Structure 1
Amino acid sequence: MPDLSAFAITKKWPARHPERLQLYSLPTPNGVKVSIALEETGLPYEVHRVAFDTNDQLSPEFLSLNPNNKIPAILDPNGPNGQPLALFESGAILVYLAAKTGQLMPTDDAARYETLQWLMFQMGGIGPMFGQLGFFHKFAGKDYEDKRPRDRYVAESRRLLQVLDGRLASRQWIMGDEYSIADIAVFPWVRNLAGFYGAGEIVGFDDFREVRRVLDAFVARPAVQRGLAIPPAP
Protein backbone atom coordinates (compact mmCIF):
# COMPACT_ATOMS: atom_id res chain seq x y z
CA MET A 1 0.00 0.00 0.00
CA PRO A 2 1.54 3.36 -1.01
CA ASP A 3 2.45 5.71 1.82
CA LEU A 4 1.46 9.30 1.04
CA SER A 5 2.04 10.65 4.55
CA ALA A 6 5.05 12.66 3.38
CA PHE A 7 2.70 14.88 1.37
CA ALA A 8 1.19 17.59 3.58
CA ILE A 9 -1.93 17.82 1.43
CA THR A 10 -3.06 14.42 2.73
CA LYS A 11 -3.38 15.92 6.23
CA LYS A 12 -6.25 18.15 5.08
CA TRP A 13 -7.63 15.68 2.52
CA PRO A 14 -6.86 12.15 3.81
CA ALA A 15 -6.60 9.49 1.14
CA ARG A 16 -9.11 6.72 1.76
CA HIS A 17 -7.62 4.87 -1.22
CA PRO A 18 -3.93 5.78 -1.23
CA GLU A 19 -3.25 3.32 -4.03
CA ARG A 20 -5.32 5.49 -6.40
CA LEU A 21 -4.43 8.74 -8.08
CA GLN A 22 -5.58 11.65 -5.90
CA LEU A 23 -7.38 14.54 -7.64
CA TYR A 24 -7.84 17.94 -5.97
CA SER A 25 -10.29 19.98 -7.97
CA LEU A 26 -13.61 21.73 -8.63
CA PRO A 27 -15.93 21.45 -11.67
CA THR A 28 -14.55 24.57 -13.40
CA PRO A 29 -13.44 24.50 -17.06
CA ASN A 30 -9.86 23.75 -16.00
CA GLY A 31 -10.89 21.34 -13.28
CA VAL A 32 -13.12 19.19 -15.45
CA LYS A 33 -10.40 18.72 -18.04
CA VAL A 34 -8.72 16.32 -15.65
CA SER A 35 -11.84 14.60 -14.32
CA ILE A 36 -13.01 14.04 -17.91
CA ALA A 37 -9.63 12.63 -18.90
CA LEU A 38 -9.67 10.31 -15.90
CA GLU A 39 -13.18 9.14 -16.75
CA GLU A 40 -12.23 8.61 -20.39
CA THR A 41 -9.14 6.56 -19.56
CA GLY A 42 -10.68 4.54 -16.73
CA LEU A 43 -7.71 5.21 -14.46
CA PRO A 44 -8.75 4.65 -10.80
CA TYR A 45 -8.75 7.88 -8.81
CA GLU A 46 -10.06 9.51 -5.66
CA VAL A 47 -11.40 13.04 -5.79
CA HIS A 48 -11.12 15.78 -3.17
CA ARG A 49 -13.13 19.00 -3.37
CA VAL A 50 -11.07 22.20 -3.00
CA ALA A 51 -13.70 24.69 -1.88
CA PHE A 52 -13.11 28.26 -2.98
CA ASP A 53 -15.77 29.62 -0.61
CA THR A 54 -13.59 28.59 2.33
CA ASN A 55 -10.30 29.45 0.57
CA ASP A 56 -9.10 25.86 0.57
CA GLN A 57 -6.83 26.76 -2.35
CA LEU A 58 -4.91 29.15 -0.05
CA SER A 59 -4.39 26.63 2.73
CA PRO A 60 -0.81 25.57 3.54
CA GLU A 61 -1.72 22.00 2.68
CA PHE A 62 -2.90 22.83 -0.83
CA LEU A 63 -0.03 25.25 -1.42
CA SER A 64 2.38 22.44 -0.55
CA LEU A 65 1.13 20.69 -3.71
CA ASN A 66 0.53 23.75 -5.89
CA PRO A 67 2.25 26.97 -4.81
CA ASN A 68 0.26 28.75 -7.54
CA ASN A 69 -2.96 28.06 -5.56
CA LYS A 70 -4.97 26.94 -8.60
CA ILE A 71 -6.97 23.80 -9.28
CA PRO A 72 -6.67 21.12 -10.52
CA ALA A 73 -3.73 19.29 -9.01
CA ILE A 74 -2.97 15.60 -8.67
CA LEU A 75 -0.91 13.28 -6.53
CA ASP A 76 -0.19 9.98 -8.27
CA PRO A 77 1.16 7.32 -5.88
CA ASN A 78 2.31 5.30 -8.90
CA GLY A 79 4.29 7.88 -10.82
CA PRO A 80 7.43 7.46 -12.94
CA ASN A 81 9.80 4.79 -11.65
CA GLY A 82 7.13 3.74 -9.16
CA GLN A 83 7.53 6.90 -7.13
CA PRO A 84 4.72 9.31 -6.12
CA LEU A 85 4.34 12.33 -8.40
CA ALA A 86 2.69 15.63 -7.47
CA LEU A 87 1.62 17.69 -10.48
CA PHE A 88 -0.30 20.90 -11.15
CA GLU A 89 -1.40 22.83 -14.29
CA SER A 90 -4.23 21.17 -16.18
CA GLY A 91 -2.35 21.01 -19.48
CA ALA A 92 0.62 19.28 -17.90
CA ILE A 93 -1.70 16.84 -16.15
CA LEU A 94 -3.48 15.99 -19.42
CA VAL A 95 -0.14 15.24 -21.10
CA TYR A 96 0.91 13.10 -18.15
CA LEU A 97 -2.33 11.10 -18.09
CA ALA A 98 -2.14 10.50 -21.84
CA ALA A 99 1.43 9.24 -21.52
CA LYS A 100 0.65 7.13 -18.45
CA THR A 101 -2.31 5.35 -20.04
CA GLY A 102 -1.33 5.36 -23.70
CA GLN A 103 -4.68 6.97 -24.52
CA LEU A 104 -5.98 10.31 -25.85
CA MET A 105 -2.77 11.08 -27.75
CA PRO A 106 -1.68 9.98 -31.24
CA THR A 107 1.25 7.58 -31.35
CA ASP A 108 2.69 9.15 -34.48
CA ASP A 109 5.33 11.75 -33.56
CA ALA A 110 4.10 14.46 -35.92
CA ALA A 111 0.46 14.03 -34.85
CA ARG A 112 1.48 14.05 -31.20
CA TYR A 113 3.20 17.41 -31.56
CA GLU A 114 0.23 18.73 -33.50
CA THR A 115 -2.03 17.67 -30.63
CA LEU A 116 0.21 19.51 -28.19
CA GLN A 117 -0.01 22.54 -30.48
CA TRP A 118 -3.78 22.66 -30.06
CA LEU A 119 -3.49 22.00 -26.35
CA MET A 120 -1.27 25.09 -26.12
CA PHE A 121 -3.79 27.01 -28.24
CA GLN A 122 -6.27 26.42 -25.45
CA MET A 123 -3.85 27.12 -22.62
CA GLY A 124 -2.48 30.33 -24.11
CA GLY A 125 -5.52 31.64 -25.96
CA ILE A 126 -8.96 30.19 -25.35
CA GLY A 127 -8.66 29.82 -21.58
CA PRO A 128 -7.29 33.27 -20.75
CA MET A 129 -9.40 35.14 -23.31
CA PHE A 130 -12.69 33.39 -22.57
CA GLY A 131 -12.00 33.80 -18.85
CA GLN A 132 -11.45 37.55 -19.20
CA LEU A 133 -14.59 37.88 -21.28
CA GLY A 134 -16.48 36.02 -18.56
CA PHE A 135 -15.23 38.53 -15.99
CA PHE A 136 -16.19 41.59 -18.02
CA HIS A 137 -19.51 40.18 -19.23
CA LYS A 138 -20.88 38.23 -16.27
CA PHE A 139 -19.07 39.39 -13.16
CA ALA A 140 -17.71 42.68 -11.81
CA GLY A 141 -16.63 44.00 -15.19
CA LYS A 142 -20.23 44.50 -16.27
CA ASP A 143 -20.42 47.52 -13.97
CA TYR A 144 -17.56 49.34 -15.70
CA GLU A 145 -18.70 52.27 -17.80
CA ASP A 146 -15.74 51.85 -20.13
CA LYS A 147 -16.69 48.90 -22.34
CA ARG A 148 -13.42 48.81 -24.26
CA PRO A 149 -11.93 46.00 -22.11
CA ARG A 150 -15.04 43.87 -22.59
CA ASP A 151 -15.13 44.59 -26.32
CA ARG A 152 -11.48 43.67 -26.67
CA TYR A 153 -12.12 40.24 -25.19
CA VAL A 154 -15.30 39.82 -27.25
CA ALA A 155 -13.32 40.44 -30.44
CA GLU A 156 -10.47 38.14 -29.43
CA SER A 157 -12.84 35.38 -28.30
CA ARG A 158 -14.67 35.59 -31.60
CA ARG A 159 -11.37 35.42 -33.49
CA LEU A 160 -10.36 32.30 -31.56
CA LEU A 161 -13.72 30.70 -32.32
CA GLN A 162 -13.14 31.43 -36.00
CA VAL A 163 -9.76 29.70 -35.84
CA LEU A 164 -11.32 26.69 -34.13
CA ASP A 165 -14.26 26.61 -36.53
CA GLY A 166 -11.89 26.52 -39.48
CA ARG A 167 -9.88 23.72 -37.93
CA LEU A 168 -13.00 21.60 -37.38
CA ALA A 169 -14.30 21.92 -40.94
CA SER A 170 -14.42 18.38 -42.37
CA ARG A 171 -13.02 16.96 -39.11
CA GLN A 172 -14.82 14.94 -36.46
CA TRP A 173 -12.50 16.21 -33.73
CA ILE A 174 -9.63 18.66 -33.52
CA MET A 175 -7.19 15.97 -34.63
CA GLY A 176 -9.54 14.39 -37.17
CA ASP A 177 -11.12 11.04 -36.40
CA GLU A 178 -9.15 10.64 -33.16
CA TYR A 179 -10.53 12.18 -29.96
CA SER A 180 -7.67 13.57 -27.87
CA ILE A 181 -6.56 15.71 -24.97
CA ALA A 182 -6.85 18.70 -27.32
CA ASP A 183 -10.64 18.26 -27.37
CA ILE A 184 -10.72 17.69 -23.61
CA ALA A 185 -8.82 20.95 -23.10
CA VAL A 186 -10.80 23.12 -25.51
CA PHE A 187 -14.45 22.17 -25.21
CA PRO A 188 -15.06 22.70 -21.47
CA TRP A 189 -14.08 26.33 -22.11
CA VAL A 190 -16.31 26.59 -25.18
CA ARG A 191 -19.17 25.15 -23.16
CA ASN A 192 -18.52 27.63 -20.36
CA LEU A 193 -18.41 30.60 -22.72
CA ALA A 194 -21.84 29.96 -24.16
CA GLY A 195 -23.29 28.48 -20.98
CA PHE A 196 -22.13 29.70 -17.56
CA TYR A 197 -20.72 33.00 -18.85
CA GLY A 198 -23.83 33.62 -20.96
CA ALA A 199 -21.65 35.16 -23.67
CA GLY A 200 -23.00 33.19 -26.62
CA GLU A 201 -24.99 36.09 -28.06
CA ILE A 202 -22.30 38.71 -27.61
CA VAL A 203 -19.70 36.62 -29.49
CA GLY A 204 -22.18 35.42 -32.13
CA PHE A 205 -21.75 31.79 -31.09
CA ASP A 206 -24.42 30.57 -33.51
CA ASP A 207 -22.17 31.67 -36.39
CA PHE A 208 -19.72 28.87 -35.63
CA ARG A 209 -21.51 25.80 -36.92
CA GLU A 210 -18.53 23.45 -36.70
CA VAL A 211 -17.74 24.46 -33.14
CA ARG A 212 -21.36 23.91 -32.12
CA ARG A 213 -21.43 20.53 -33.84
CA VAL A 214 -18.34 19.25 -32.06
CA LEU A 215 -19.39 20.75 -28.72
CA ASP A 216 -22.65 18.78 -28.98
CA ALA A 217 -20.70 15.59 -29.70
CA PHE A 218 -18.34 16.30 -26.83
CA VAL A 219 -21.00 16.81 -24.17
CA ALA A 220 -22.86 13.72 -25.40
CA ARG A 221 -19.96 11.46 -24.40
CA PRO A 222 -20.80 9.51 -21.20
CA ALA A 223 -17.33 10.11 -19.72
CA VAL A 224 -17.69 13.84 -20.33
CA GLN A 225 -21.08 13.90 -18.64
CA ARG A 226 -19.61 12.18 -15.61
CA GLY A 227 -16.50 14.33 -15.54
CA LEU A 228 -18.47 17.59 -15.72
CA ALA A 229 -20.03 16.78 -12.31
CA ILE A 230 -16.77 15.91 -10.52
CA PRO A 231 -16.26 16.65 -7.74
CA PRO A 232 -19.95 16.65 -6.85
CA ALA A 233 -21.51 19.49 -4.92
CA PRO A 234 -21.44 18.94 -1.13
Structure 2
Amino acid sequence: MQRELLLAWRRPAEIINPLFFFVMVVALFPLGVSPRPELLATLAPGVVWVAALLAVLLSVDGLFRADHDSGALEQLLTAPQSLYVPVLAKLAAHWMLTGLPLVVMAPLLGYMLHLPEQAIGVLFIAVLLGTPTLVAIGAIGAALTVSLRSGGILLSLLVLPLYVPVLVFGAGVVSYAAKGLPVSGVLALLGAMMLASFTLAPAAVAAGLRISSGN
Protein backbone atom coordinates (compact mmCIF):
# COMPACT_ATOMS: atom_id res chain seq x y z
CA MET A 1 0.00 0.00 0.00
CA GLN A 2 2.89 2.37 0.72
CA ARG A 3 4.18 1.79 -2.82
CA GLU A 4 0.77 2.49 -4.33
CA LEU A 5 0.32 5.68 -2.33
CA LEU A 6 3.79 6.91 -3.30
CA LEU A 7 3.22 6.23 -7.00
CA ALA A 8 -0.16 7.96 -6.89
CA TRP A 9 1.28 11.06 -5.21
CA ARG A 10 3.76 11.30 -8.08
CA ARG A 11 0.80 11.53 -10.50
CA PRO A 12 -1.38 14.17 -8.84
CA ALA A 13 -3.58 14.62 -11.91
CA GLU A 14 -5.02 11.15 -11.36
CA ILE A 15 -6.14 12.26 -7.89
CA ILE A 16 -7.39 15.73 -8.79
CA ASN A 17 -9.27 14.90 -12.01
CA PRO A 18 -12.02 12.71 -10.47
CA LEU A 19 -12.62 15.21 -7.66
CA PHE A 20 -12.69 18.14 -10.09
CA PHE A 21 -15.11 16.25 -12.33
CA PHE A 22 -17.35 15.42 -9.34
CA VAL A 23 -17.50 19.01 -8.13
CA MET A 24 -18.01 20.54 -11.57
CA VAL A 25 -20.85 18.21 -12.56
CA VAL A 26 -22.79 18.90 -9.37
CA ALA A 27 -22.00 22.64 -9.40
CA LEU A 28 -23.15 23.08 -13.00
CA PHE A 29 -26.34 21.09 -12.58
CA PRO A 30 -28.43 23.96 -11.09
CA LEU A 31 -27.42 26.19 -14.00
CA GLY A 32 -28.77 23.71 -16.51
CA VAL A 33 -32.00 22.81 -14.71
CA SER A 34 -33.36 25.36 -12.25
CA PRO A 35 -32.11 27.21 -9.17
CA ARG A 36 -35.35 26.54 -7.25
CA PRO A 37 -34.42 25.11 -3.84
CA GLU A 38 -37.33 22.65 -3.64
CA LEU A 39 -36.49 21.15 -7.06
CA LEU A 40 -32.78 20.92 -6.30
CA ALA A 41 -33.48 19.26 -2.94
CA THR A 42 -35.58 16.61 -4.70
CA LEU A 43 -32.95 15.90 -7.34
CA ALA A 44 -29.87 16.24 -5.10
CA PRO A 45 -29.50 12.56 -4.06
CA GLY A 46 -29.53 11.33 -7.64
CA VAL A 47 -27.30 14.11 -8.93
CA VAL A 48 -24.61 13.62 -6.29
CA TRP A 49 -24.63 9.85 -6.67
CA VAL A 50 -24.50 9.87 -10.47
CA ALA A 51 -21.63 12.35 -10.38
CA ALA A 52 -19.77 10.20 -7.80
CA LEU A 53 -20.34 7.08 -9.89
CA LEU A 54 -18.96 8.69 -13.04
CA ALA A 55 -16.01 10.17 -11.15
CA VAL A 56 -15.07 6.72 -9.81
CA LEU A 57 -15.47 5.24 -13.29
CA LEU A 58 -13.17 7.94 -14.64
CA SER A 59 -10.52 7.11 -12.04
CA VAL A 60 -10.50 3.29 -12.35
CA ASP A 61 -9.82 3.31 -16.10
CA GLY A 62 -6.08 3.74 -15.49
CA LEU A 63 -5.89 1.71 -12.29
CA PHE A 64 -3.58 -0.97 -13.73
CA ARG A 65 -2.51 0.69 -16.97
CA ALA A 66 0.68 2.30 -15.63
CA ASP A 67 1.84 -1.00 -14.12
CA HIS A 68 1.02 -2.77 -17.37
CA ASP A 69 2.98 -0.29 -19.49
CA SER A 70 6.02 -0.31 -17.17
CA GLY A 71 6.19 -4.10 -16.89
CA ALA A 72 5.55 -4.09 -13.12
CA LEU A 73 2.27 -5.95 -13.65
CA GLU A 74 4.03 -8.75 -15.54
CA GLN A 75 6.51 -9.19 -12.68
CA LEU A 76 3.65 -9.26 -10.19
CA LEU A 77 1.81 -11.91 -12.18
CA THR A 78 4.87 -14.16 -12.39
CA ALA A 79 5.76 -13.78 -8.70
CA PRO A 80 5.30 -16.92 -6.54
CA GLN A 81 2.95 -15.28 -4.03
CA SER A 82 -0.80 -14.84 -4.38
CA LEU A 83 -2.14 -11.70 -6.07
CA TYR A 84 -4.95 -11.30 -3.52
CA VAL A 85 -3.10 -9.13 -0.99
CA PRO A 86 -1.31 -6.84 -3.52
CA VAL A 87 -4.59 -6.25 -5.36
CA LEU A 88 -6.42 -5.56 -2.10
CA ALA A 89 -3.75 -3.04 -1.11
CA LYS A 90 -4.00 -1.37 -4.52
CA LEU A 91 -7.78 -1.07 -4.26
CA ALA A 92 -7.57 0.32 -0.73
CA ALA A 93 -4.93 2.87 -1.73
CA HIS A 94 -6.90 3.88 -4.81
CA TRP A 95 -10.03 4.46 -2.74
CA MET A 96 -8.11 6.50 -0.16
CA LEU A 97 -6.75 8.81 -2.86
CA THR A 98 -9.77 9.11 -5.16
CA GLY A 99 -12.85 7.89 -3.30
CA LEU A 100 -12.23 9.49 0.08
CA PRO A 101 -12.08 13.06 -1.35
CA LEU A 102 -15.50 12.43 -2.92
CA VAL A 103 -16.82 11.36 0.48
CA VAL A 104 -15.50 14.56 2.08
CA MET A 105 -16.99 16.80 -0.63
CA ALA A 106 -20.39 15.08 -0.82
CA PRO A 107 -21.99 16.80 2.24
CA LEU A 108 -20.87 20.22 1.02
CA LEU A 109 -22.35 19.60 -2.42
CA GLY A 110 -25.53 18.26 -0.83
CA TYR A 111 -25.81 21.45 1.19
CA MET A 112 -25.25 23.49 -1.97
CA LEU A 113 -28.19 21.67 -3.59
CA HIS A 114 -30.42 22.51 -0.58
CA LEU A 115 -30.56 18.96 0.70
CA PRO A 116 -32.37 18.84 4.09
CA GLU A 117 -30.08 18.86 7.08
CA GLN A 118 -31.16 15.43 8.29
CA ALA A 119 -30.22 13.93 4.93
CA ILE A 120 -26.72 15.41 4.67
CA GLY A 121 -25.28 13.11 7.32
CA VAL A 122 -26.91 10.12 5.64
CA LEU A 123 -25.44 11.24 2.31
CA PHE A 124 -21.97 11.24 3.88
CA ILE A 125 -22.41 7.73 5.29
CA ALA A 126 -23.95 6.40 2.08
CA VAL A 127 -21.14 7.72 -0.12
CA LEU A 128 -18.60 6.43 2.42
CA LEU A 129 -20.10 2.94 2.16
CA GLY A 130 -20.84 3.03 -1.55
CA THR A 131 -17.66 4.34 -3.14
CA PRO A 132 -15.50 1.36 -2.05
CA THR A 133 -18.01 -0.91 -3.79
CA LEU A 134 -17.81 1.22 -6.93
CA VAL A 135 -14.01 1.07 -6.87
CA ALA A 136 -13.99 -2.71 -6.36
CA ILE A 137 -16.45 -3.36 -9.20
CA GLY A 138 -14.66 -0.92 -11.49
CA ALA A 139 -11.33 -2.61 -10.77
CA ILE A 140 -12.69 -5.90 -12.15
CA GLY A 141 -13.55 -4.18 -15.44
CA ALA A 142 -10.21 -2.37 -15.46
CA ALA A 143 -8.38 -5.68 -15.01
CA LEU A 144 -10.21 -7.22 -17.96
CA THR A 145 -9.47 -4.27 -20.26
CA VAL A 146 -5.94 -3.40 -19.11
CA SER A 147 -4.28 -4.73 -22.25
CA LEU A 148 -6.57 -2.77 -24.61
CA ARG A 149 -5.38 0.58 -25.93
CA SER A 150 -8.86 2.12 -25.87
CA GLY A 151 -10.66 0.15 -23.21
CA GLY A 152 -12.62 3.00 -21.65
CA ILE A 153 -15.85 2.37 -23.58
CA LEU A 154 -15.66 -1.37 -23.01
CA LEU A 155 -14.97 -0.76 -19.32
CA SER A 156 -18.12 1.36 -19.08
CA LEU A 157 -20.22 -1.31 -20.78
CA LEU A 158 -18.88 -3.95 -18.40
CA VAL A 159 -19.30 -2.19 -15.08
CA LEU A 160 -22.22 0.24 -15.48
CA PRO A 161 -24.89 -2.51 -15.15
CA LEU A 162 -23.16 -3.69 -11.96
CA TYR A 163 -23.17 -0.13 -10.61
CA VAL A 164 -26.97 0.13 -10.78
CA PRO A 165 -27.77 -1.50 -7.39
CA VAL A 166 -25.28 0.75 -5.58
CA LEU A 167 -26.72 3.81 -7.33
CA VAL A 168 -30.32 2.85 -6.55
CA PHE A 169 -29.73 2.09 -2.86
CA GLY A 170 -27.31 5.01 -2.38
CA ALA A 171 -29.62 7.64 -3.84
CA GLY A 172 -32.68 5.98 -2.33
CA VAL A 173 -31.42 6.03 1.25
CA VAL A 174 -30.70 9.78 1.01
CA SER A 175 -34.20 10.38 -0.34
CA TYR A 176 -35.62 8.34 2.55
CA ALA A 177 -33.68 10.45 5.05
CA ALA A 178 -34.95 13.66 3.43
CA LYS A 179 -38.53 12.42 3.93
CA GLY A 180 -37.89 11.37 7.52
CA LEU A 181 -38.15 7.63 6.82
CA PRO A 182 -35.94 4.99 8.54
CA VAL A 183 -32.65 4.40 6.76
CA SER A 184 -30.73 1.91 8.91
CA GLY A 185 -31.73 -1.10 6.82
CA VAL A 186 -30.57 0.39 3.52
CA LEU A 187 -27.32 1.62 5.08
CA ALA A 188 -26.72 -1.89 6.44
CA LEU A 189 -27.27 -3.25 2.93
CA LEU A 190 -24.74 -0.78 1.50
CA GLY A 191 -22.28 -1.84 4.19
CA ALA A 192 -22.80 -5.50 3.37
CA MET A 193 -22.22 -4.78 -0.32
CA MET A 194 -19.00 -2.96 0.56
CA LEU A 195 -17.68 -5.85 2.67
CA ALA A 196 -18.64 -8.43 0.06
CA SER A 197 -17.08 -6.46 -2.79
CA PHE A 198 -13.77 -5.83 -1.03
CA THR A 199 -13.65 -9.48 0.04
CA LEU A 200 -14.41 -11.03 -3.35
CA ALA A 201 -13.16 -8.40 -5.82
CA PRO A 202 -9.39 -8.95 -5.30
CA ALA A 203 -9.72 -12.58 -6.39
CA ALA A 204 -11.80 -11.57 -9.42
CA VAL A 205 -9.34 -8.78 -10.29
CA ALA A 206 -6.40 -11.18 -10.05
CA ALA A 207 -8.16 -13.61 -12.39
CA GLY A 208 -8.98 -10.76 -14.79
CA LEU A 209 -5.37 -9.60 -14.85
CA ARG A 210 -4.16 -13.11 -15.65
CA ILE A 211 -6.71 -13.43 -18.46
CA SER A 212 -5.81 -10.07 -19.96
CA SER A 213 -2.08 -10.75 -19.76
CA GLY A 214 -2.32 -14.34 -20.96
CA ASN A 215 -0.74 -15.75 -17.79
Same fold (TM over 0.5): no
The structure with the greater share of residues assigned to helix is 2
Which structure is higher in strand share? 1
Pick 1 or 2: higher relative contact order, CA cutoff 8 A, min separation 6: 2
